[in-house]
Amino acid sequence: MTDPTPGTALDPLALEDATTLPTYAKPPLALVRGENATVWDHTGRELLDLYGGHCVALLGHSPPRVVEAIRQQAGELLFYSNAVYSPVRAEASARLVDLAPEGLNRVFWCNSGTEANEAALKLARAVTGKSGVIAMKGAFHGRTVGALAATWGDSYHAPYRAILPQTHFVPFGWEGAVAEALESGDVAAVILEPIQSMAGMTEAPAAYYQALRQLCDAHGTMLIFDEVQTGVGRTGAFSYSEHVGVTPDLITLAKSLGAGVPVGATLVSDAIAKTVKTGDQGTTFGGGMLAMAAVRATLDQLVEDSLMPRALALESAFRDALTSVDNVVDIRGRGCLLGIELDRPARPVAVALRDEHGIFVGTSGHAPTLRLMPPLTTPMDAAGRLADALGEVLRAG
């Protein structure tokens, strides 16, 4: 590495910029510490993190129970692959399957959301013998080839079009378009985020998801819910599917699942699981002990501390506080996955909240919509703090 300013000490921002690919737009702060919904940067500045560590910090930052579990596991056996059995993997799998919707009794462990979707799409193709995929306009499913093909947007696809499998994109929330696309007869899977997060926290009525279930059944097509954001209790139920009374064939999880430790999972229906043989799918690191210790501790805390009802209580607190803010046009989403639509572009508002009020929120692909993905353990008074700050920023703008 070449020091861009020889003779001077590099600050962490300059050092990172000089040594990593410039693929991310980062705010000018380096985080060094976190506790529950609070993070501190390298200058000692404190922020309320309603972006939730990119929708990962389900239990807050450095949650003591998970930290202790991975400390202990690291000292016992840091890693071994699926070449062997592992008690902690067995227990994490049992906990997950227990919380999953009935009929999804098997899990494939991996390391990220895109890998979980990759596995789901492969399994859907293998079990149906079909190759086509229907995905939603506005969708984000990840950046590996299979998941990328189901992600909406030229900016993601342009250089790779030649190697991406064709995907049929339809508008989210309109079952008629899915019905039409299924007529080709070669559709292995319909994949969707039940709440489209990057697209601006869009949700459809329950009847839509129910219609997709019926259509997939009628066409021998697998229904995949990408619950990388909605899963693990964030919307007030373990899986979004419980809210709408639909059991998908496959559910993918990541982000919150390890409360900060990288892990992904594909939950698979019994019918699909029966068709899978040794060697059909694999990964070295998926199901490693450190990640499994994190998952086991995360799921235990989620249940024992009644955090799913708490996600709904936080939603009510945010809705109550934010509805009184002029210039908030709409509040969408569920639990701790909320979109706040403003009457103006959200990005400058997010910057002002961060820089002037010490509150970290997300934006989305829908320009006027802010995204909140706070820990389920966020203090209730965070809602009032956000509403006061947002009101001030909007009045000033």
Q: Which residues bind ligand PLP (CB under 6 A)?
A: 112-114, 117, 140-142, 193, 197, 226, 228-229, 254
How far, CA to CA in Å, does 210 sit from each of 105, 116, 174, 207, 214? 21, 23, 12, 5, 6
Q: Is 321 or 346 the residue whose CB approaches ligand PLP more closely?
A: 346
Q: In the bound complex, what is the minimum distance in angstroms from residue 254's beta carbon to ligand PLP?
A: 5
Q: In the bound complex, what is the minimum distance in angstroms from residue 145's beta carbon to ligand PLP?
A: 13
Q: In the bound complex, what is the minimum distance in angstroms from residue 375's beta carbon to ligand PLP?
A: 17
Q: In the bound complex, what is the minimum distance in angstroms from residue 64's beta carbon to ligand PLP?
A: 24
> Which amino acid, one-letter code, is at 347?
R
Backbone angles phi, psi at 290, to 5 degrees: -60, -45
CA 1: distance to chain centroid?
34
Q: Tell me the C-alpha distance between 144 and 87, whole Å.
A: 31
Q: Is 33 or 54 the residue whose CB approaches ligand PLP more closely?
A: 54
Q: Is 113 or 286 the residue whose CB approaches ligand PLP more closely?
A: 113
Residue nearest to ligand PLP (CB): 113
Alpha helices in 220-345 (DSSP H): 241-244, 270-273, 289-304, 307-323
Q: Is 61 or 141 the residue whose CB approaches ligand PLP more closely?
A: 141
Q: In the bound complex, what is the minimum distance in angstroms from residue 381's beta carbon to ligand PLP?
A: 28
Q: Is 118 or 249 the residue whose CB approaches ligand PLP more closely?
A: 118
Q: Is 112 or 301 the residue whose CB approaches ligand PLP more closely?
A: 112
Q: Is 141 or 243 the residue whose CB approaches ligand PLP more closely?
A: 141
How far, CA to CA in Å, does 218 sit from each of 124, 177, 179, 206, 223? 15, 15, 10, 19, 12
Q: Tell me the C-alpha distance between 4 and 132, whole Å.
A: 49
Helix (H, G, I), strand (E, B) or coil at 141: coil
Please give the structure tokens belonging to residue 197: 């997060």
User: Which helix (DSSP H) or strand (DSSP E) does residue 39 occupy?
Assistant: strand 38-41
Nearest to 271 by CA among 289, 248, 241, 291: 248
